[in-house]
Structure formats: C-alpha cells, structure tokens
Amino acid sequence: MSGIRATGTKTLMLFGGRAHPELNAEVADHLGVGLVPSKTHNFANGEVYVRFDESVRGSDAFVIQSHTAPINEWIMEQLIMVDALKRASAKQITVVMPFYGYARQDKKHRGREPISARLVADMFQTAGADRLMAVDLHTAQIQGFFDGPVDHLWALPILADHVAAQHDPANMTIVSPDAGRVRVADVWADRLGTPLAIIHKRRDPNVANKVKVHEVVGDVEGRTCLLVDDMIDTAGTITQAAEALLANGAAGVLVAATHAVLSGPAVDRLKNSGISEVIVTNTLPIPEERRFDKLTVLSIAPLVARAIHEVFEEGSVTSLFNGNA
C-alpha cells in the first residue's frame, strides 16, 4: 500500500516514528495509505538519524509519534523528522502527537520553574511544523502555545460509547477525581445523562505524586461510579479516589482515561484496587507486561485518521467530534 494519497494537485503523505508502530499502522489502514518508508536509527552515542525513501516535495505531510517513555528520545525523533521534511520541501507539515509530552508542565506554580509545554510547542514551530494535532490535552490553554492551527481531539465519544454499551447509565454517577477535571466530568455527565460528583483532594507539596483524598461531594451511595480523567500515570490519584468512593457506599467503581501512562507502581495499584474496570485508549503503547485483566484498551486510530482526512481535504475537524468546539 502506497504512503501517498493524491487529490487533485494535493498529495497526502503519512510518516510514523518508532515509538508506537502499531498505532501508526492502524491509522494508515483507516486512511487507506501506507507509511512512507524511511531509514531511522540511532548512532552509537544515541543521536537519531532519519532519511525518507521517497520524495516529499510539495506534499501535505502528517508525522505521527506518541510521546511515550523514553519521552525525550521520541520527541527528539519527531522534531528531526519534521526538520527533514521541511528541508526536503514538504508544503504543509502536521505534527500528530496522540499524547502531548510535557503537557502537565503548562504553567508556573512557583518561581524559577519552566513552562515546558510551551517549550515543546516552540521547538516544533522552529523545526518547521505548520499544524499540531493532539488528543485530550491536559489543559486547553496549550492550544495557545503554538502559533498556528491546533486540532484538539477528544476521546470522550469513544470511551463514553463503550461505557454506555457495557453499563447502565441510569444507576451511574460520573466522578471527577479532582477540581481540575470538573469541566470534563460535566461533559461526560451531560452525554450519559448522569449525576456528577467530585473528589475533594489536596496534594502533599513535599512529595511528588502524593495525594491525600479528603471527601466526596455528591450522591454516590448505592451507585456505580465512573471516575474520568485525561491520563493515568502512577495511579495514586485514581486508586485513592476509588477507595474514597467505596468507603462512601458506592456499589462499584469504573475508571475511564484517555492516556495510559502507567508509570512505576500503576499496574499493581490498579490490579489490587477495588476498581472493576479500567478503560483507556491506545494513544500510548501498552506492552503485554503492563496489561491486566481489568484493563480495556480502545483504539484511537479511527479518530486520528478521520481528523487527518478532514485536515487534508480542508474540511471541518471540529464538526466531527463531540466536545471539540
């Protein structure tokens, strides 16, 4: 299958980094194109080399890379891919990052701290990117860090449709694990027609990733509670929230999150928790050793492929995805 699609005078070319080849291939299948072949390898000192095997002159280039661990290497590889395309005279370059690396560092909490999410956007701009595409940014303000179009895709329809098909929304409460996720939880509640509850928590300022859950605000007794978040990293927040819900009489707890970072103790915490199902997407690769019986992985590829198609055809990305307005 060719890595090129031509429409009139326009040519779509799809390029994939090495971080998540399974997702790259799935997106390519949905688009009906192949990935443009390339030669990519690391030199002995770790430097990345990229060369594409086909001419990219005048093309609309889409460069897919998931920012998974080791995150710095994969971001650097994508930057080098963009630079190679720019220098080879690609007409339009869209960076597709299903998971935006450093998105949690989107503002300064204290003096002498960086805004790393802005730095990432600046680097892609400098490398030659004309457009960014990402799924469920940690905060919407990141869209303003890039001086060009940013397509912010939401996985909520994919996740919510699965929940509605497998569970009864009539006896469900959507739960935000903290105050920062209330807006997203509210959209979930509107879509499924359920009540909303909030976990009030306070982070320990002296210990990274340490959260103390205080209380549940809302009616959860006797109900199935669905905790919703953009990502699960070490799973400390989500498992403590689940404990608080069960302690307050919840009949059961489900979790839905877009990005399965699953760092460090996350898998053991989730396996040993009272959570009955953890529903995520494949924006990040999840190796077999990080999978477990409670885990359900849904594909984000159809969403990404449809967005790429709309951008290439100069259609409306926003009109396709509920929640993107």
Residues 6+ apart with CB under 8 A from 75: 65, 67, 101, 120, 123
Is residue 212 flagged as an active site residue? no
46 a known binding residue?
Answer: yes
122 a known binding residue?
Answer: no
130 a known binding residue?
Answer: no
230 a known binding residue?
Answer: no
166 a known binding residue?
Answer: no
Q: Which candidate in 201, 210, 212, 271 is catalytic?
A: 201
203 a known binding residue?
Answer: yes
218 a known binding residue?
Answer: no
141 a known binding residue?
Answer: no
236 a known binding residue?
Answer: yes
121 a known binding residue?
Answer: no
237 a known binding residue?
Answer: yes
State the maximum Cα–Cα separation within the chain, in Å, rounded to a whole number: 62
Binding positions: 45-47, 104-105, 138, 178, 203, 229, 233-237
Binding positions for Mg(2+): 138, 178
Binding positions for D-ribose 5-phosphate: 203, 229, 233-237
Active site residues: 201
Binding positions for ATP: 45-47, 104-105
